[in-house]
Chains A and B, each alone.
Chain A
């Protein structure tokens, strides 16, 4: 019987076009996505170059996993519907009287669904496999085909997930007899999964996520998170530990679920309902003997006027609306949405473990995560409402009523709109609840309303209109839903195929961006313009759905077309033409502005231009140029019109020993004029690259000077285009707006891409040992140290700031002018800010401290002041005196980025980098990053503005790593050593995670290519550990000596080699291995506690026995593991139980061993000492005075360790 039912189901599916449509769609998507990953569209768009192999086992698992996750949306209509279909067709009344068992029936139904899903999965696998090798893909990033990765993923993930999810959906749809309930269940599970992973993102909590992620993604990530590029390319997915537990757990839950379905299911004929008044039953007898009744109906007025039709439309929409909001799938999505939004607000969005104040924009931002759920509700309920009457078989009654089509369709549209309103108001409600619960009462109701209703609704309306057309054309709402999801995900992905302009992609366009300082700024106009553009097309779609509106019983599609033509009248013609016309004219305008009025460079063209630029101008790189020695600029900022007008004067000197006859002027595309004070001729003007060559009539002799006067202003801003970076409040621009001298680089870096354009492999920067490459700092290539002054003007209500000391401030022509001048030489690196500022002032010795902040952002000003003072204290005491008489922090809007940047005595600082941090000073609180970032930026006044590295590999160690080291030391002095572990672990996690995304190479610290994860996270960890090993004072003295030697030096500039030599000098021989491990190679530890025991001794002390392992390995630039260059460089360890030995680089290392106790719930350090380690497996016995609780090897995570969680272990007491 099982097989009869099973094969009957299979036959049913193979006879349906839907299966083939689904399969074709998935095959197509799989082909396109794997193809484009492998560079299929390189001829259309940018070259897909990377050192990653796209079809590595991990790559396949990600792709296969993502696509099969999409298939889950088909489960309700394939697996879920299997039993429900028998009810719907009322087959069950006959079927359930047949002689088969419940088991046979359920298993056959369930597994036939699973079988059909397998059919689609098979084609997905084929699509992925063939996509990689389609003609045109890049063979360099595709490895040979291998079956195992596919099988692994299928067996470990796809099959168990399918059974588990299938069982849930099967149960839900069978018992509710509601396919939408199945969809909402899918949605909720997917939301919960994403939520679970982000909730347990902290390194210590990842195990929980790994265990409980129903799809096993987090479990896989648990092991592969830190895989380097080489490991990603080569290793099979690991089937071990928590991954196995996860699979077993969810497998068991799946079986349990199916078992309960089996128990609960009976061949009865009622859907599962909750009935609260069952006891209230009574016997019903109808009066069967009616006589003849007179039918005299009360007089009623029938009104078919527009007004009444509108009234009816409104009332009908309420009926549909209440149908939606009373349906429990909808209620559950609302509840889950509320819950997740709230928990998300509480738990997520933290920076360094510290949350941000609950500003309204942040509440709105958190609500964005709800957008997908709202869209899926739109797609689903559009279909359900449009086809609701037919599904309920009441269509013949409704369709023969005199209500016009537009009333029926309009009422459904309005009902969906009301549903969306309910959903977006959830964002408002959760936001307000969260703000109140945080004691934050600055409600910006207007902002909520504006963003949710004005900006948000138009976005959703555009999608509703497309959903209406799709759902009208496709008569099955669940197929319609699927098509809409594919469109929703697929439209933005067309980028991969080189469709870059959003005017060709439905509903796409520039977004908006809010900040406290500048509101929505100029983003809003463009946003609305594009949205109205798409709304016009949306209306066209809506009208088409009215024309195609399914009314009556058309027998086929050609009849629907006939009906369409009979409905088509002048009103339709007029509105269609009107909105199509509007759409096309707005589109033409966008096209005109972006493609004809302004040159548009596609990503592909940009790649070609970059290659051309190098070929054309790199040859001038070595031509000597005069050096800029003085800059004097006038900058007029016009916040209202967002314009800039600037002029300036450079004084340049030929510092070389040769004659200079040509000046290479590199500038931007804004209208500019240039005038030298010596006779010259413009021999080459390049309007594409804006790189001009002037030939001096009389060459510049060594020591001679040259003056350049220039003006530059932006092209006027228009509705669709911003031609300046000036904003209404909070402008932040730097000197890149002004011309520079010489070839400025900016070359293609990927070697495979370069090969395509016949360019030689790129060495990136020269090696620091190359003494010919030390002529420039890494900040500027046309100057060393300059004199600087600037006059900046802005509107009367704003303050404009540039580096330097304010000489004069005045008002002229209703504008405010500021004249700033530097009293000492600075790097050629400056910025301009302008906004309506409040100022907070303080002093440190004779230095003026100022913070220019946005009114209302007073929260953390004291912390920032403290940070400035702490850094000034630390640096001036340990390194050298501060070179200026002021430090200024200047706030700029978060829309320009979430960072701070240190210019000479002037630090532009994003509003979201500390001004609105909600810092928790309690024990559990996160980091005070307002304080921390301030300290880092002030430290740059030494490590960048005094000591600046040559433009070679590793230059950022001298600025970023050391500034970050300073702020770590300052944090340590404030918080104490014991608190550092949390911070160090976070840095370690960031370093280990970021390096897995490396697309070119990872060098050792002192030769790094400037990657943030190396110079910030790894760099700071290493200097912090170094200060621990050789002593803070000792290290700082070495640095002091180094500063003294190289501060404010002229070329040749210093390099990381020079710094490391100073460090080496201060390092005892026994620790010399540190220099190699930390600076010269990429060395990673794998330290862990194996076991530990303790017992109380007779003298009242405690003996602690610890067994632990220490090993370290090295990575090459691709992340490949090695243990040393020669055989004797490595050691190994193997016991009989171990299948493979463990290896390590030769050890003669000192590593912290610690024992910790507890006092008043606080951790106390009972023992901490560096032990010399020379073998992998070690045992020590330590005697401590108090009761030990926990032991650790490198317990504070000072070393770079690939698993920082197994460094500590609680003690098993011997009873």
Chain B
């Protein structure tokens, strides 16, 4: 089970390069696509999901040439876009039945059974006769998962699914995703590092249409072990520190002092303590390096 993306490039008519020669190999399991807003995540996901066509490049999934044989991919695809609407005045049950039809489940009994089961899994059974357009954000997202699972997808693409969910909803969502992700390829885009940390066995960082880093989360932190330093300083010293150090992040403490995290091969200076590397650091390092490169160009 392998998704292979080669030399994928896409430029929009407003001259923005959304994808810039993207190459990726993604295997089974949860794959996290990390990147800030506007990095090109959605473009990449939509392109894999056959919604958009790139200017050049190829995508293959298990021998399926995604860009020319879209229908074959759609048969094994489960896709949940960043935001979606529903037809008004249709209940979850009706709507799932509708999608089941679209997804080629021809026997009515099987359709009903499957829809029931999915409603159960996503904990929507109580509200299955209510119109989906009246659902709360979390319920709607769960409905999204239910429709995604209808065709037992081999390739699952979920675009920033946890944005706007309350903690409990988010947890539940990730759990379900994890549960179904064990037997298929799940591509999961987010700008929340924790999502990736908790779920993914593989990840990539995307910004400005380019893959900045493709690495396993486990390896990612190992790579920068002993290179992350922290220091507590006063607010007024921040400007100076920013010039001196490669600051990855700075956070307020309760007493109005700041804790800064610095990436450095060796101890950057007085008052710095070594800190356990986190995935956030990997993310910020990648973005920083990219920024630097871009400014040199």
Chain A positions within 8 Å of B, measured between CB atoms, are 286-290, 292-295, 297-298, 300-304, 308, 311-312, 315-316, 319, 323, 326, 388, 392-394, 396-404, 552-556, 559, 562-563, 566
Q: A295-B179, A302-B151 are in contact. Are A311 and B86 (CB under 8 A)?
A: no
**CA–CA, A554 and B12, complex, Å:** 10
Q: Can you list 6 A-B pairs with a CB-CB distance of less than 8 A?
A: A293-B175, A308-B104, A312-B101, A400-B77, A401-B99, A553-B46
Given the complex, which residues of B lie within 8 Å of A402, measured CB to CB? 71, 74-75, 77, 102-104, 151
**CA–CA, A791 and B17, complex, Å:** 91
* Interface residue stretch chosen among B105-113, B213-221, B246-254: B105-113
The 8 Å CB contact of B84, one of A295, A303, A397, is: A397
B107 (CB) vs chain A CBs: closest residue: A301
Contact yes or no, A403 B104, CB < 8 A: yes
Per CB-CB distance, the 7 closest pairs between chain A and chain B, nearest first, are: A393-B85, A401-B102, A552-B51, A402-B74, A288-B168, A396-B81, A308-B106
**CA–CA, A404 and B50, complex, Å:** 13
Contact yes or no, B49 A555, CB < 8 A: no
The 8 Å CB contact of A393, one of B53, B83, B136, B168, is: B83
The 8 Å CB contact of B74, one of A297, A308, A400, is: A400
A304 (CB) vs chain B CBs: closest residue: B104
Interfacial residues of chain B within 63-99, with CB under 8 A of chain A in the complex? 68, 71, 74-75, 77, 79, 81, 83-89, 98-99
Given the complex, which residues of A lie within 8 Å of B180, measured CB to CB? 295
Q: A288-B169, A308-B104, A400-B79 are in contact. Are A393 and B84 (CB under 8 A)?
A: yes
B245 CB, min distance to chain A CBs, angstroms: 40
B225 close to chain A: CB less than 8 A? no
Contact yes or no, A404 B68, CB < 8 A: no
Can you add 13 more A-B contacts, CB < 8 Å, to A397-B79, A397-B84?
A: A288-B169, A295-B149, A303-B105, A304-B104, A393-B83, A397-B81, A397-B144, A399-B50, A402-B103, A552-B46, A553-B52, A555-B52, A559-B53
Total residues of chain B contacting the partner, CB 8 A: 55
The 8 Å CB contact of A396, one of B84, B88, B151, B152, is: B84
B18 (CB) vs chain A CBs: closest residue: A555
Chain B positions within 8 Å of A, measured between CB atoms, are 12-13, 46, 49-53, 68, 71, 74-75, 77, 79, 81, 83-89, 98-99, 101-107, 110-111, 113-114, 117-118, 121, 123, 136, 138-139, 144, 147, 149, 151-152, 166, 168-169, 172, 175-176, 179-180
Q: A298-B113, A402-B104, A403-B104 are in contact. Are A396 and B168 (CB under 8 A)?
A: no
A291 CB, min distance to chain B CBs, angstroms: 8
The 8 Å CB contact of A302, one of B75, B81, B89, is: B75
A384 CB, min distance to chain B CBs, angstroms: 12
**CA–CA, A300 and B50, complex, Å:** 24
Contact yes or no, A388 B87, CB < 8 A: yes
**CA–CA, A923 and B224, complex, Å:** 106
Contact yes or no, A315 B101, CB < 8 A: yes
Given the complex, which residues of B lie within 8 Å of A554, measured CB to CB? 52-53
Given the complex, which residues of B lie within 8 Å of A401, measured CB to CB? 74, 99, 102-103
**CA–CA, A562 and B50, complex, Å:** 14
B74 (CB) vs chain A CBs: closest residue: A402
Contact yes or no, B123 A553, CB < 8 A: no
A397 CB, min distance to chain B CBs, angstroms: 6
A301, A316, A404, A553: residue with the most chain B Cβ atoms closer than 10 Å: A553
**CA–CA, A294 and B81, complex, Å:** 24
Contact yes or no, B168 A301, CB < 8 A: no
Contact yes or no, A303 B104, CB < 8 A: yes
**CA–CA, A287 and B124, complex, Å:** 11
Contact yes or no, B175 A292, CB < 8 A: yes
B83 (CB) vs chain A CBs: closest residue: A393
Given the complex, which residues of B lie within 8 Å of A403, measured CB to CB? 101-104
Given the complex, which residues of A lie within 8 Å of B168, measured CB to CB? 288-290
Contact yes or no, B13 A300, CB < 8 A: no
Contact yes or no, B175 A301, CB < 8 A: no
The 8 Å CB contact of B75, one of A300, A304, A308, is: A304
The 8 Å CB contact of B49, one of A293, A400, A562, is: A400
Contact yes or no, B102 A566, CB < 8 A: no
Q: A297-B149, A393-B83, A555-B13 are in contact. Are A404 and B104 (CB under 8 A)?
A: no
Q: A297-B117, A393-B85, A394-B85 are in contact. Are A292 and B151 (CB under 8 A)?
A: no
Given the complex, which residues of B lie within 8 Å of A566, measured CB to CB? 53, 68
Given the complex, which residues of A lie within 8 Å of B166, measured CB to CB? 288
A276 CB, min distance to chain B CBs, angstroms: 14
Given the complex, which residues of A lie within 8 Å of B74, measured CB to CB? 400-402
Contact yes or no, B99 A400, CB < 8 A: no
A548 CB, min distance to chain B CBs, angstroms: 15
Q: A315-B101, A323-B87, A402-B75 are in contact. Are A293 and B51 (CB under 8 A)?
A: no
**CA–CA, A359 and B117, complex, Å:** 58
B131 CB, min distance to chain A CBs, angstroms: 12
Contact yes or no, B84 A290, CB < 8 A: no
Given the complex, which residues of B lie within 8 Å of A308, measured CB to CB? 104, 106
Given the complex, which residues of A lie within 8 Å of B99, measured CB to CB? 397, 401
A391 (CB) vs chain B CBs: closest residue: B85
B138 CB, min distance to chain A CBs, angstroms: 8
Given the complex, which residues of A lie within 8 Å of B46, measured CB to CB? 396, 552-553
B123 (CB) vs chain A CBs: closest residue: A290
Contact yes or no, A404 B71, CB < 8 A: yes
Given the complex, which residues of A lie within 8 Å of B87, measured CB to CB? 323, 388, 392, 394
**CA–CA, A1195 and B83, complex, Å:** 77
Contact yes or no, B106 A293, CB < 8 A: no
A612 CB, min distance to chain B CBs, angstroms: 61
Given the complex, which residues of A lie within 8 Å of B86, measured CB to CB? 392, 394
**CA–CA, A555 and B10, complex, Å:** 11
**CA–CA, A297 and B114, complex, Å:** 7
**CA–CA, A311 and B121, complex, Å:** 28
Given the complex, which residues of A lie within 8 Å of B106, measured CB to CB? 301, 303, 308, 311-312
Given the complex, which residues of A lie within 8 Å of B104, measured CB to CB? 302-304, 308, 312, 402-403
Given the complex, which residues of A lie within 8 Å of B12, measured CB to CB? 555
Contact yes or no, B110 A316, CB < 8 A: no
**CA–CA, A308 and B149, complex, Å:** 20
**CA–CA, A889 and B136, complex, Å:** 79
A326, A399, A559: residue with the most chain B Cβ atoms closer than 10 Å: A399
Contact yes or no, B102 A396, CB < 8 A: no
B52 CB, min distance to chain A CBs, angstroms: 5
Given the complex, which residues of B lie within 8 Å of A292, measured CB to CB? 175, 179
B52 (CB) vs chain A CBs: closest residue: A553
**CA–CA, A404 and B83, complex, Å:** 23
**CA–CA, A298 and B105, complex, Å:** 12
**CA–CA, A316 and B105, complex, Å:** 13
Given the complex, which residues of A lie within 8 Å of B151, measured CB to CB? 302, 402
**CA–CA, A298 and B113, complex, Å:** 7
Contact yes or no, A294 B51, CB < 8 A: no
A277 CB, min distance to chain B CBs, angstroms: 13
Contact yes or no, A552 B50, CB < 8 A: yes
Contact yes or no, B52 A552, CB < 8 A: yes
A913 CB, min distance to chain B CBs, angstroms: 54
Contact yes or no, A392 B51, CB < 8 A: no
**CA–CA, A308 and B102, complex, Å:** 11
Q: A290-B123, A312-B102 are in contact. Are A553 and B149 (CB under 8 A)?
A: no
Contact yes or no, B52 A316, CB < 8 A: no
Contact yes or no, A293 B50, CB < 8 A: no
Given the complex, which residues of A lie within 8 Å of B50, measured CB to CB? 399-400, 552
**CA–CA, A399 and B84, complex, Å:** 12
B124 CB, min distance to chain A CBs, angstroms: 10
**CA–CA, A398 and B144, complex, Å:** 12
Given the complex, which residues of A lie within 8 Å of B114, measured CB to CB? 297-298, 300
Given the complex, which residues of B lie within 8 Å of A559, measured CB to CB? 53
B292 CB, min distance to chain A CBs, angstroms: 31
**CA–CA, A552 and B111, complex, Å:** 26
Contact yes or no, B98 A319, CB < 8 A: yes
Given the complex, which residues of B lie within 8 Å of A315, measured CB to CB? 101
Contact yes or no, B169 A556, CB < 8 A: no
Contact yes or no, B53 A290, CB < 8 A: no
A287 (CB) vs chain B CBs: closest residue: B123
